């Protein structure tokens, strides 16, 4: 057997994405280069690792077994690097955080100082919608989750970071009642908050526009496709440049809290404990430095 670590890493990415094209994009490689390395790995085995039916790539049962062992190999290699750095007095390891999509405007400011202090830490930050964030937390696939709404019936502990405020916004300062409301996709915390608000104040409405990210909603509002209830945290530049305007509405802003949560009873790693200690010590300074504009609304 002459397969390489690089080939195993490529194979794992192909399995994760279920696509050579997507694996190539994620690895910043060309599609032919990924295909060649996958073939070189396959040549080491008499049994197929993958198969193509129609245009869809599938992983064989044998391939899935090899992937499990490959993951262990890659993890052990990472542990070697971490252990070497630990002996040099450097805090090492991996910090994984799953964040609701709008959290991308929040969590980087709470991470930057910590990562500067501990250069041996590898960060894995997955930004997705609320449903997937909670699912990842339930499966214990992540150290922490960043959410604005506490999940039901899930025992957690939390650290509050900053208030989350949602306003009705449009591309003009005067409300146009003919414009439709633009919603996020199902599973989004913003979508749920928006549905609850309009049901209380205007009754159920037909959803005419639905987009799958806050950035897409923001661009649609700027273009005049409709109005939407959006988190203020992601609108700083657009408000300053008069691309969007806050429309006064009864019961707004809606307010929740951006909070870092983790499973109750979870034994946090030394890195997780250090990150929480950093947040508790530096939170006020981080808010003052980076969120002064936001706190004034």
DSSP one-letter code for 269? -
Tens-digit pLDDT profile for residues 89-142: 567 788 999 999 999 999 999 999 999 998 889 999 999 988 899 999 998 889
Same domain, 122 and 241: no
Same domain, 200 and 147: no
Same domain, 151 and 234: no
CATH number of the domain within which 15 lies: 1.10.10.10
Cα dist. 226→125, 175, 185, 244, 264 in Å?
Answer: 31, 10, 16, 11, 41
Cα dist. 14→20, 24, 69 in Å?
Answer: 6, 8, 15
225 is in which domain, residue-wise? 164-255
Same domain, 123 and 168: no
Tens-digit pLDDT profile for residues 127-167: 998 889 999 999 888 999 999 988 888 999 999 999 999 99
User: pTM for this one?
Assistant: 0.70
């Amino acid at each position: 057997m002459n397969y390489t670590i690089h080939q195993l890493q490529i194979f794992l990415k192909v399995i994760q994405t279920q696509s050579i094209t997507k694996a190539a994009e994620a690895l910043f490689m060309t599609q032919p280069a990924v295909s060649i390395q996958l073939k070189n790995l396959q040549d080491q085995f008499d049994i197929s690792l993958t198969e193509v039916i129609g245009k869809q790539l599938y992983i064989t049962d044998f391939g899935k077994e090899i992937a499990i062992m490959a993951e262990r190999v890659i993890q052990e290699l990472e542990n070697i690097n971490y252990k070497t750095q630990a002996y040099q007095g450097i805090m090492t390891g991996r910090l994984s955080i799953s964040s609701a999509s709008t959290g991308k405007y929040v969590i980087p400011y709470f991470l930057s100082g910590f990562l500067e202090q501990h250069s041996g830490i590898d960060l894995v930050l997955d930004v997705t919608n609320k449903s997937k964030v909670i699912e990842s937390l339930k499966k214990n696939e992540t150290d922490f989750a960043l959410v604005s709404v506490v999940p039901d019936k899930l025992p957690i502990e939390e650290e509050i970071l900053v208030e989350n405020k949602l306003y009705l916004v449009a591309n003009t300062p005067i409300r146009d009642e003919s414009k439709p409301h633009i919603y996020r996709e199902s599973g989004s915390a913003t979508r749920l908050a928006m549905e609850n608000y309009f049901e209380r104040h205007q009754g159920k409405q037909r959803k005419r526009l639905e987009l799958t990210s806050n950035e897409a909603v923001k661009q649609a509002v700027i273009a005049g496709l409709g109005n939407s209830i959006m988190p203020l945290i992601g609108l700083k530049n657009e408000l300053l440049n008069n691309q969007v305007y806050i429309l006064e509405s009864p019961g707004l802003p809606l307010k929740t809290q951006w909070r870092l949560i983790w499973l109750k009873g979870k034994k946090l790693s030394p890195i997780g404990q250090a990150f929480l200690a950093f947040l508790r010590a530096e939170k006020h300074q981080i808010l003052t430095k980076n969120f002064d504009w936001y706190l004034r609304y």
